[in-house]
Amino acid sequence: MKLSAARVGVLIWVLIYGGLFVLAIGLALREVHGLLAGSVSIGGLAALAVGAALIWYRSRLLLRSAPPPTVDASAPNP
């Protein structure tokens, strides 16, 4: 599956904010059910970690898609 940089950017923010939201729900569940709270919190942290890893992936994606700089030796220097 080929993703553009814009789609990866949207996916990054969805995972980061979704992970933070799920983590907050997990922390709120601590008083009600400890095991469920831990499971939900781990899921939120996993989504947050994937979003953070995609930031690195997007930076590499942009570097690969940029054309290499060219130097025109025949142009006069100002």
DSSP conformational letter for 29: G
Task: Compute the half-sphere exposure of residue 61: CA atoms within 13 Å on the CB side of its CA.
Answer: 14
Those residues whose C-beta lies under 8 Å from the C-beta of residue 26, and which sit 6 or more positions away, are 37, 38, 39, 40, 41, 42, 43, 44
Greater confidence, 61 or 49?
Answer: 49
Residue 72 clears pLDDT 70, i.e. is over it: no
Greater confidence, 69 or 55?
Answer: 55
Task: Identify which of 19, 59, 23 has the alpha carbon closest to the alpha carbon of residue 41.
Answer: 23
pLDDT band at 7 (very low <50, low <70, confident <90, very high): confident
* pTM for this prediction: 0.73
pLDDT band at 67 (very low <50, low <70, confident <90, very high): low
Greater confidence, 16 or 60?
Answer: 16
Distance CA 16, CA 48 (A): 5
